[in-house]
Amino acid sequence: MANSAQARKRARQAVKQRAHNMSLRSTLRTAIKKVRKAIVAGDKAAAQAVFKESQSVIDSIADKKVVHKNSTARYKSRLSAAIKAL
């Protein structure tokens, strides 16, 4: 347990920040799942539209450093390749 007032405050802040980051990470996963679901449906135009919307969500979460930018680049690359393969 934190002993100093500063350490107690940092512990409180860490809990709030973790909750916020988990929410953003969940949003990221949801955006990726939407694209994958559109790909499985087989409609290339719909998949491209969903991917275009999800790209901004994915990029904004990477900008906030919730996940590494290379991870998001990899997600986008694989989703794009899957759409092109339709």
Which residues touch 47 (CB under 8 Å, ≥6 apart)?
35, 38, 39, 41, 83, 86
Residue 2 has pLDDT above 90, yes or no: no
pLDDT value at position 64? 95
Q: What is the pTM of this model?
A: 0.84
Model confidence band, residue 1 (pLDDT cutoffs 50, 70, 90) = confident
Sign for the pseudo-dihedral over CA of 40, 50, 34, 78: positive
Model confidence band, residue 86 (pLDDT cutoffs 50, 70, 90) = confident
- Helix, strand, coil shares, percent, the chain, to 5: 85, 0, 15
